[in-house]
Structure 1
């Protein structure tokens, strides 16, 4: 178990206080894409997406991440207007129906992020490593907003075949420190920053496994760290499991990341993930049991 010394661990987001020194947030995933890698478009229809937000909140999710463009470039370019048409109605519905649910928008476009923040989102989840620094400018203007800075090497929605690393965890940590400094230089406050090492993003399975076991080198950077491990290819390739049979491996990876300092986990299977995280918090001495009868 590794307990990192965090920068601004206590943060008020969506009217809720999170103490990342003693708390792990579960971020649920809702993708309004017809070809998302996990659910293959199950939440593409607006009513299905809103229902998924409701179900995640009922299952105990703390955060919800809403995306309209998948990370993979397969499928061609999607104009910003079309991305906004996908995500904005879901953000509005989530904000109206669940006022204390933290709403994250998964986008690399500042214009899309601005509209979603105006509609009630609280977090910009940029999986491109702040490729467009205008996202930092936007967040800097909104002190209550969080910015997730993720390690990924390619330009948005471009292939990066056969990535190579001499020291995968060290290089990821150096990248994140450099991109955090870009954000700070543009006025983003330290208490607004979350980092994500980008499991599987421009990495093969060996890279991601090593990253996971060396997660403490990432969380030692000091900002609350997000681990997005759910149902990813490194789980499937390691266990020889198809997409729909990766829950157990995903939970093992998520708990490992928490024990090594991650404080937000991005997960598709919300109820199971909430149980795994709450049990881990109890083992770490941060949470009391719901009740005690056994041998009492």
Structure 2
């Protein structure tokens, strides 16, 4: 495992001399934690950062799918599936899906994430043809209705992504980091669309069967660094890549908490960070809330911690509640919404 530097973000003031802007945004940092395998993290000054790491941590992030990343962005989840863990079956008809999309945009979503295959723990795979039959009509209907907001296609399957792009999708959000099919990287590069690369340990059917890590933070960051490098090698610009630590995808409660506490390490990849923990099981476990739809408050709490560490995109079910919380968090931290 490669040693990595984790910035310790702050907002407001007083801001000491030598403090650096985090990812070109409103947060800053004057200290970093050096993480090395088998050792406790060590507190260091930013003056000790190697130049290459400094550049990756501070460079402004480019706009993705037409959205600038200089302020928090909200991605609204639209699952057109019968079996997703939280809202499966709620939006399976075309009319219901379009209505929900309109509602999320009215509530403040910046981008819609449309998925046709459940990736909940234990989920069985869906044939790409069936998955495309679920998502493509929804994307096409939204575009036909004049909705111009960015749309993300949430899929592991290149054929589904291609069909979604033809219907009007702008971004490929892949829980398998473009590794589910051999042609994934080439298809993504040829599309010219930005991508989100997520970490997952195992596939949905088996990922929660006693996942084990030596150092979950370093391992997830290392995996994502390798996938970013592979994407660049295929012709995808780093500026067109988001990364996602994959909360709940092959992780225990302890793993999830460690990743959230150390989320700012991912800024060292030089990409925008997408964070998705909405309504997930670990929230219910910690807060004793067994029903996923009732985990709104816990989801918002975790989302605000992600913002504190500089995450640029929050992927959520509850757009209205998250937008309200983001507005207050931004005001308290002097960030222009």
Tell me if both proteins adopt one fold, taking TM over 0.5 as the criterion: yes
CA distance in 2, matches of 1:280, 1:104: 26
> Partner of 1:226: helix, strand, or coil?
strand
TM-score by length of 1: 0.90
How far has the Cα of 1:177 moved from its partner?
0.1
The CA RMSD measured in Å over matched residues stands at 1.7
How far has the Cα of 1:7 moved from its partner?
5.1
- 1:7–1:224 contact (8 Å) kept in structure 2: no
How far has the Cα of 1:6 moved from its partner?
5.5
Q: Which structure 1 residue ranges, 5 or more long, are not aligned?
A: 289-296
Alignment size in residue pairs: 282
1:79 equivalent among 97, 111, 127 = 127
- Structure 1 residues 126-275: aligned runs within 5 Å: 126-131=174-179, 132-143=181-192, 145-155=193-203, 157-160=204-207, 161-242=209-290, 243-275=292-324
Residues 1:283 and 2:335 aligned together: no
How far has the Cα of 1:94 moved from its partner?
2.2
Residues 1:100 and 2:148 aligned together: yes
CA distance in 2, matches of 1:126, 1:176: 12
> Partner of 1:105: helix, strand, or coil?
strand
1:11 equivalent among 51, 63, 70 = 63
CA distance in 2, matches of 1:211, 1:146: 24
User: Cα deviation per residue 1:109-145 (whole Å; 9 max; x = unaligned)?
Assistant: 11110010111100101001222352321221233x1
CA distance in 2, matches of 1:23, 1:121: 22
> Max radius of gyration: which structure?
2
> Partner of 2:249: helix, strand, or coil?
coil
Greater alpha carbon shift after TM alignment, 41-50 vs 109-118: 41-50
User: Cα deviation per residue 1:4-56 (whole Å; 9 max; x = unaligned)?
Assistant: 4365513162xx441x2x31110001111111100131111221111110101
- 1:147–1:194 contact (8 Å) kept in structure 2: yes
How far has the Cα of 1:167 moved from its partner?
1.0
CA distance in 1, matches of 2:318, 2:130: 27
- 1:8–1:191 contact (8 Å) kept in structure 2: no
